[in-house]
Amino acid sequence: MEGLPHRLANRPLALHLGHAAGLATAWQASPAAALAMDDDRPSRAYGLIDGVAVIPVQGILMPGDFAYGSWATGYDWIRRGVAAAAAASDVRAIVLDVDSPGGTVTGCFDLADAIYAARGPKPIHAILGENAYSAAYAIASAADRITVPRTGGTGSIGVIWMHVDWSAALAEAGIKVTVVAFGARKADGHPEMPLAKEALARIQADIDTMGDLFVRTVARNRGLSADKVRETEAATFLGDDGVSIGLADAVMAPDAAFRALLAELG
């Protein structure tokens, strides 16, 4: 299993930074414990309640085929659950059980496209236990319907990449790092040196491209104009505020939203 720090470090993130505690939990997780959970995971990537497949979208989201309770879920796990539920004869509808601050850009939009493509034969509802921010919102937006509790949030439609410059601290500690590289841009972003203007411009261009993909994905999924989505400026919206601008369809407690879906199915 690839170490969790390597899944998250030095990568563009679609993650609400107000939820950094979840990121820290994933960062500090014991590999041995993670492998044990991986061995114990159920073979089916969804639960089944009255003909409704329930698929977790919980905690930090990243590439991989795993579901580690409330603190991390893999994009491949979600994809496998949606595909299996869509094909299963005993499944009448699909629920994405969402409570997440987001995660990596890598894998997020391909998954959102796959969920969007699965619309039609069976209802797909995103029922928010609390929040769907950033990458989690991209996934939730691909569903036919989104419900959010009064205290829950939607949005954070943006991408972030962080650079930490350790060069001054290293110099103060008497440590000198010499980087030998082939290619002028090979060492861009390394924390052992200041971020050059050229590197910053290139990275910003990449982040802008990913952000535009995020905007266009949500606009398509929710039937909104790209300009309206872009105007949110990656802000988050509580309950009714998210509904009023089209990021969610109704304010409902999760259990009420699930009962409403069962009543709709008959």
Name the catalytic one among 43, 100, 122, 134: 134
Q: What is the dihedral of CA 14, 70, 72, 218, to 10 degrees?
A: -30
Q: What is the chain's alpha carbon radius of gyration, rounded to the nearest angstrom?
A: 20
Identify the active-site residue in 70, 100, 141, 186. Answer: 186
Nearest to 63 by CA among 113, 111, 133: 111
Q: Compute the CA torsion angle 170, 171, 172, 173 (nearest 10 deg).
A: 50
| 132 contacts 98 by C-beta, under 8 angstroms | yes
Would you call 160 helix, strand, or coil by DSSP? Answer: strand
Secondary structure of residue 155 in the 3-state scheme: strand
Which of helix, strand or coil describes residue 140?
Answer: helix
Which residue in this structure is represented by tokens 């085929």? 65
- The token pair at 62 is 């990243």
| Distance, C-alpha 92 to centroid of its chain | 25
Is 134 an annotated catalytic residue? yes
E-assigned strands of the chain?
13-15, 47-49, 52-62, 67-68, 72-74, 93-104, 124-133, 145-148, 153-155, 236-238, 250-251
Hey, how many other C-beta atoms are within 10 angstroms of the C-beta on 250? 13
Q: Report phi then psi at 130, rounded to 5.
A: -155, -80
List the catalytic residues: 134, 186
